[in-house]
Amino acid sequence: MVIGDLNSRITVQSDTKTDDGLGGYTSIPVVDEIVWANVRLVRVKELTIDDHKEGASAIIVTVRKPSKIKYISTLIYDNDTYNIVAIYNSKLNPKEYLIVEAIR
């Protein structure tokens, strides 16, 4: 993979707990970083829920290391939110690239 293959912007965010002033807390999303990535759509499934068609998809994202991506992070790509299901090192270049699998 060459640097030009990282041609999609991904926003990495995680929830932060904030005091609500009433003895509890609320979670708000906070942007951890914005990275350039290579994104591949690997699976698309159409679901019908209450007569409403809903699409479910999975993507594979390749980013350069170091990255702040964690299992509790969510990825924003093309105005869709994806939940991370797996993070591992690239087999081709494990010192430079991280591979992330995520579903929507």
The CATH number for 99's domain is 2.40.10.370
Taking all residues of the chain, what is their mean pLDDT, rounded to a whole number? 86
> Hey, what amino acid is at 100?
V
Q: How many domains does the chain have?
A: 1
- Spatial neighbors of 60 by CB under 8 A, at least 6 apart, are 39, 40, 42, 99, 100, 101
* Cβ burial, residue 33 (10 Å; 0-12/13-18/19+): middle
**Long-range contact pairs involving 47-54 (C-beta distance under 8 Å, separation at least 24):** none
> Which is it for the CA torsion 1, 91, 39, 74, positive or negative?
negative
For residue 73, what is the DSSP state? -
Confidence of residue 56 (pLDDT cuts 50, 70, 90): confident
The DSSP bridge partners found for residue 89 are: 98
Report whether pLDDT(104) > 90: no
Range of the domain at 9: 3-103
CB-facing half-sphere around the CA of 82: CA atoms within 13 A: 25
Tokens read off for 58? 């999975």
pLDDT at residue 57, as a whole number: 83
Report whether pLDDT(31) > 80: yes
